[in-house]
A = this chain, B = another copy of it.
């Protein structure tokens, strides 16, 4: 993945550079409008020492959801990884094909029709029972060859160009950036540094209970099949507080299943000046249009005062390569 890392790193440097260059637009892929202006106004206010809303750098904590916020969740990349791992597992152990829930899955029964227990069983089969180091290797292998089905690029390029610019802009203004996602923590850590410039210690996610074992005379952490934390919904503020020790003042999430409502509210209810964005996936032409049956995330945005980002109206460009993943791609 060396060439890929270099390419992404170059893009990252170019983005950072544009932020530092005097007078240039820090968010070139964003349409000029209310939202872009309010982001820049907020960042200016909290970074100017003479401002009544000044926030010292150590409190400039920003948290970002990952799936559907920093990179595309159509399809959800970790689900694709899980499918890939499942195929490998069935190849290695064909007897599984005769057992549930694999019989149903192979018949084409969608995952949504499985029980919670069955889903967890698949998750454990594909994510646990190995050392952390072995799992990391599997993740790296997956990203080496897997391609996004519509973009036909590695999944690491299914990121949102405007969000890369926002990350660089906040970083240049001395924000400390964290990713807090429902995704599995070690899965995200393998790619987050390269694609977002966020170090592994700034990734918060769901995780399995690890057990320390001596293998070949060496202490290694082994992933058990017990999930310790599902870092979603009400658990997200808990995961954030445990990891960071403070409320974020800048938080971004997206609508799909209400997973970021508590996350953004936790930031909104900070005693410091703060800013939240709820992303609305409303761009059928360039990305995807999906919404919640109960409209909970957008209703919460209205109720609590989160800004709503419309991909259709707020972003000039969605992906770094000018490609789109929509039907008409």
Contact = CB atoms under 8 A, between A and B. Distances in A.
A161 to B, nearest CB: 24
A218 interface: yes
Given A219-B237, A219-B269, A244 B212 contact: no
Interface residues of A, number: 35
Given A58-B193, A201-B176, A185 B242 contact: yes
A199 B238 contact: no
Nearest to A132: B241
Nearest to A209: B238
A221 B193 contact: no
Q: How many copies does the complex hold?
A: 2
Interface in A234-260: 234-235, 237-238, 241-246
Contacts of A269: 218-219
A281 interface: no
Nearest to A199: B58
B245 A201 contact: yes
A203 interface: yes
A183 to B, nearest CB: 14
Nearest to A267: B219
A210 interface: yes
Interface string A294-309: 0000000000000000
A70 to B, nearest CB: 17
A189 interface: yes
Nearest to A211: B238
A61 to B, nearest CB: 8
Q: Which of A61, A185, A199, A219 counts the most chain B CB atoms within 10 A?
A: A219
B210 A238 contact: yes
Contacts of A193: 58
A185 B245 contact: yes
A221 B219 CA distance: 34
Contacts of A160: none
Given A58-B193, A212-B237, A237-B212, A200 B265 contact: no
A213 to B, nearest CB: 10
A192 to B, nearest CB: 9
Contacts of A237: 212, 219, 221
A186 interface: yes
Contacts of A155: none
Given A58-B193, A176-B201, A210 B241 contact: yes
A237 B246 CA distance: 24
A52 to B, nearest CB: 21
Contacts of A201: 61, 176, 178, 201-202, 243-246
Given A199-B58, A201-B245, A244-B201, A238 B221 contact: yes
A244 B212 CA distance: 16
A200 B238 contact: no
Contacts of A235: 212
17 contacts: A58-B199, A61-B201, A185-B242, A200-B245, A201-B245, A207-B242, A210-B238, A210-B242, A212-B234, A212-B238, A212-B262, A219-B237, A219-B265, A219-B266, A221-B238, A221-B241, A243-B243
